[in-house]
Structure 1
Amino acid sequence: MGEQHRRTLKGKVAVVGIGETEYYRHGKSPDPEFKLALKAILAACQDAGVDPRDIDGFASYSDDRSDATRLAAALGTRRLGTATMQWGGGGGGCCGAVANASAAIVAGLADVVVVFRSLAQGEFGRFGQAANIKTVSGERSYLMPYGVLAPPQRFAMRVKRFMHEHGVQQDALRAIALASYRHAQNNPRAVMNGRPLDEQAYDASRWIAEPFHLYDCCMENDGAAAIVLVSAERAKEFKQKPAYLLGAAVGSDYRMAAMSHNSPDYGTAGFKTAATDLYRMAGMGPADVGVVQSYENFTGGVVMALAEHGFFEPEEANEFLKLENLSAPGGCLPLNTSGGNLAECYMHGFELVVEAVRQIRGTSTNQAKRNDVAMVIGGPMVTPVSNLLLGSEATI
């Protein structure tokens, strides 16, 4: 076994607090983005029983505008020991930020680290919006000359390739959307609570970019979410049942080449190496996972991501991805039990991490029967992607 494989985060860090603001439709938050971040962090501290002044580290991703130094000043923290930002990948960094914070604790850089995401699209504009651009660089320089402007257009091409190569039908994508909306009906925090979705409504909804109907695409929202991490040795000092980090991985497959869409393996969510690394660190496999929270930028990415994490072979997607299999409590793999990006809130995937902690605690509004190991999958089809496994004390 190589040196990298002997180094691990397993069982060394625990989530002891979770917090969220109210989730709003795009542009409806009465508070600016920075205040939303503070509200979520204070809620997480209250949940854990942590004095906010004891926070000595912050971690986020996707160029979050709520700067760690400003947060530290506003919260009155006594010292700042670490401040990390996961590069690239948009929502693919939601688990990477947790990994970075955990590594900082294990390395002795900080003792109480908050991981958060704040997003007020009404204040700063829609995430990923291609408007008022005078010059382009990076990925856009390859795509905009051909009219490929928006994320649904870019990611639809990868999903169509995967569906073509493996015979995946539209019904598989629909089942993912229906599961998220079903779970949201039991979750009073969900933006789509009270707005159920059925097969007929899904099929009748307009195309955004084939194979994505309206309900295959994530929402746009304002809000913030946060967690508090401490070392495993301290985890039982706090108010809540700890959720222990079993494994985390960040990265991309060989020449993912998201910029120019010419990667050798095109129809992929990008998790083939990250899934292997995650399971290796945790010492687990797909059969050990009881519940999954998977980032749905678009439902097709979830299909690919679940296959790449070994829950089924690509050719088995149509059989496996049925609403009954994806629904809590009795499904074989309950998926996005809070409603996910599609129906709870698009908090850039960080609400998925919060929901995974709830599953471990046993406090989800859609509790899975097997909740001792919860997986989070961040940002399919971007680069880098990330993932993590959380577990109860019995699993470490």
Structure 2
Amino acid sequence: MTWVNQDKCAIVGVGATDYYVRGKSWPRTINDMAGEAILKACADAGISVKQIDGFAYYSTAGAGYLDKFDTASLMETLGIPEVGFSATLTSGGGGVAGAPGLAVAGLMNEDCKYAVTVMSLQQLPQHRLGVVFGAAAPSAENSFLQPSGLVGPGHLMSVLARRHMHLYGTTRDAFKEIVQATRANTHNRPKAIRKEPLTDEQYWGQPMLADPLCRLDFCLETDGAVAVITTTTERAKDLRHKPALIHGVAHGGQAEWGRAFAWMGMPDPYFASSGHAYVAKRLWEQTGLSAKDMDVAELYDHFSAMVLMQLEEYGFCEKGGGNDYVLGGNIRFANRDKPGAIPVNTHGGNLNEAYIIGMTHVVEGVEQVRGTAINQVEDCEFALVTGGPASLPVSGMILRRA
């Protein structure tokens, strides 16, 4: 069944600050960086910031889990006169691809004309996402996690990765290939944090942070901000760039995935998964498309193993086939014309460019269908962008060339 809002709205502006290694953004503030990203997105779209009248957040309006966005403060800071829509999706990075869908809801209900989605992240020594569970207040879940040494998302994802290895024979060689393949996409990106080629010896020489995940299997710890602006396709006709049409978007999940890496009660095969099977099914049903129709995939890569599991759940390969698919060179940009291949994270992703809780993936998806990406996939019509794995809900979005 075709999605009722298919192609009726589009992302029309993108903006980002520089990206900083964790803690190096100080004395800037979260609101300062968010404001810069929003102003740059407005300039990219060709609108005034005063025309923004909607906010569509994710991560429960959490600025990297470490602070909260306040619509009133952003309005006052930027001189936005009035807002008719301000809402947020729950979950953490799992909502990044779904947030433009939330903007679509406000636009189609005529609550707003231009909605902005923004994420700004600043990790200071006392505030790090990598140990967020260890620093959290005691709770029913944390009473299990903290004494077990599962103090950050990486420790918890390592358990899922190990289960996938046990069930399907997945190897660390596949994780290495994911890191290397996406690293190869950053050598020509001025803002990327990790740009140097990565040899096998360098990967295998990294410290093991949460077996089987080594340091380079973990996403970067970075500061910065990214914003995107969504409006109706009709209104987009008068703006600066070719719009990136929102062809399909889904946000949710199934109970068997549940609290994901914060809960170890999932049965097989859901335990060794990314939690995206439900979202993938909805996206393909909404659009009548499938994995073979995608020209590029910007997959949320906070940990390398979860890219492999998403490739399986979106149907680029069969369940349990991710190891061989990846090792076959099928996610490399250089192999984009190979039958059955899909270039993944053409901007380097969270692992190599920057980690702004997934927002860089949305920007890259927009630029790919605009035809303006640095590592441009020729004649790119459809781009898949995902949010999560994370505690439910997770999300996925298909952008289409106008």
TM above 0.5, one fold? yes
Superposition deviation, residue 138 in structure 1: 4.9
What are the residue-to-residue correspondences of 1:294-373 with 2, within 5 Å? 294-322=299-327, 324-331=329-336, 332-373=341-382
What are the residue-to-residue correspondences of 1:222-301 with 2, within 5 Å? 222-258=223-259, 259-264=262-267, 265-301=270-306
Superposition deviation, residue 131 in structure 1: 8.0
TM-score, length basis structure 2? 0.92
Superposition deviation, residue 382 in structure 1: 3.0
Superposition deviation, residue 281 in structure 1: 1.4
Is the CA contact 2:10–2:243 (under 8 Å) kept in the aligned structure 1?
Answer: yes
Moved more, 240-249 or 137-146: 137-146
How many residue pairs get aligned? The number is 387
Go from structure 1 to structure 2 and tell me whether the alpha carbon gap of 1:74 and 1:68 turns closer, same or farther (over 3 Å shift): same
> For 1:285-330, what per-residue CA distance to the aligned partner results, in whole angstroms no more than 9, with x for missing partners?
1111010111111111111111000000133323211374222254
Out of 2, 5, 13, the residue aligned to residue 17 of structure 1 is 13
Out of 151, 162, 179, the residue aligned to residue 149 of structure 1 is 151
The residue aligned with 2:22 is: 26
Is the CA contact 1:180–1:336 (under 8 Å) kept in the aligned structure 2?
Answer: yes
> For 1:48-87, what per-residue CA distance to the aligned partner results, in whole angstroms no more than 9, with x for missing partners?
1011000000122222323112111222122101111111
Go from structure 1 to structure 2 and tell me whether the alpha carbon gap of 1:282 and 1:180 turns closer, same or farther (over 3 Å shift): same
Is the CA contact 1:379–1:385 (under 8 Å) kept in the aligned structure 2?
Answer: yes
In structure 2, runs of 5+ residues without a counterpart are: none
- The yes-or-no answer on 1:70 pairing with 2:56 is no
Provide the C-alpha distance between the structure 1 equivalents of 2:371 and 2:175, rounded to a whole number of angstroms: 28
Provide the C-alpha distance between the structure 2 equivalents of 1:46 and 1:111, rounded to a whole number of angstroms: 16
Moved more, 295-304 or 6-15: 6-15
Provide the C-alpha distance between the structure 2 equivalents of 1:133 and 1:20, rounded to a whole number of angstroms: 29
Corresponding letter in the other structure for 2:9:
V
The residue aligned with 2:398 is: 389
The residue aligned with 1:169 is: 171
Provide the C-alpha distance between the structure 2 equivalents of 1:110 and 1:81, rounded to a whole number of angstroms: 5
Go from structure 1 to structure 2 and tell me whether the alpha carbon gap of 1:105 and 1:60 turns closer, same or farther (over 3 Å shift): same
> For 1:211-253, what per-residue CA distance to the aligned partner results, in whole angstroms no more than 9, with x for missing partners?
1111110011110001111101111110011100011111122
Superposition deviation, residue 196 in structure 1: 2.0
Superposition deviation, residue 187 in structure 1: 1.0
Superposition deviation, residue 260 in structure 1: 3.0
The residue aligned with 1:43 is: 40
Is the CA contact 2:371–2:379 (under 8 Å) kept in the aligned structure 1?
Answer: no
Go from structure 1 to structure 2 and tell me whether the alpha carbon gap of 1:74 and 1:337 turns closer, same or farther (over 3 Å shift): same
Is the CA contact 2:3–2:248 (under 8 Å) kept in the aligned structure 1?
Answer: no
Go from structure 1 to structure 2 and tell me whether the alpha carbon gap of 1:141 and 1:337 turns closer, same or farther (over 3 Å shift): same
Q: Helix, strand or coil for the counterpart of 2:185?
A: helix
The residue aligned with 2:103 is: 101
Provide the C-alpha distance between the structure 1 equivalents of 2:134 and 2:312, rounded to a whole number of angstroms: 38
Provide the C-alpha distance between the structure 1 equivalents of 2:125 and 2:163, rounded to a whole number of angstroms: 36
Is the CA contact 1:175–1:323 (under 8 Å) kept in the aligned structure 2?
Answer: no
TM-score, length basis structure 1? 0.93
Is the CA contact 1:329–1:368 (under 8 Å) kept in the aligned structure 2?
Answer: no
Is the CA contact 2:2–2:288 (under 8 Å) kept in the aligned structure 1?
Answer: no
In structure 1, runs of 5+ residues without a counterpart are: none
- The yes-or-no answer on 1:119 pairing with 2:128 is no
Moved more, 47-56 or 368-377: 368-377
Moved more, 330-339 or 348-357: 330-339
Moved more, 5-14 or 373-382: 5-14
Is the CA contact 1:33–1:123 (under 8 Å) kept in the aligned structure 2?
Answer: no
Provide the C-alpha distance between the structure 2 equivalents of 1:74 and 1:124, rounded to a whole number of angstroms: 26
Q: Helix, strand or coil for the counterpart of 1:109?
A: coil
Q: Quick one: percent identity of the two aligned structures? A: 34
Q: Helix, strand or coil for the counterpart of 2:193?
A: coil
* CA RMSD, Structure 1 to Structure 2 (Å): 1.8
Provide the C-alpha distance between the structure 1 equivalents of 2:142 and 2:43, rounded to a whole number of angstroms: 42
> For 1:70-108, what per-residue CA distance to the aligned partner results, in whole angstroms no more than 9, with x for missing partners?
1112221221011111112x2111112111111111121
Moved more, 241-250 or 72-81: 72-81
Provide the C-alpha distance between the structure 2 equivalents of 1:95 and 1:339, rounded to a whole number of angstroms: 17
Corresponding letter in the other structure for 1:261:
M
Is the CA contact 1:180–1:338 (under 8 Å) kept in the aligned structure 2?
Answer: yes
Provide the C-alpha distance between the structure 1 equivalents of 2:171 and 2:190, rounded to a whole number of angstroms: 32
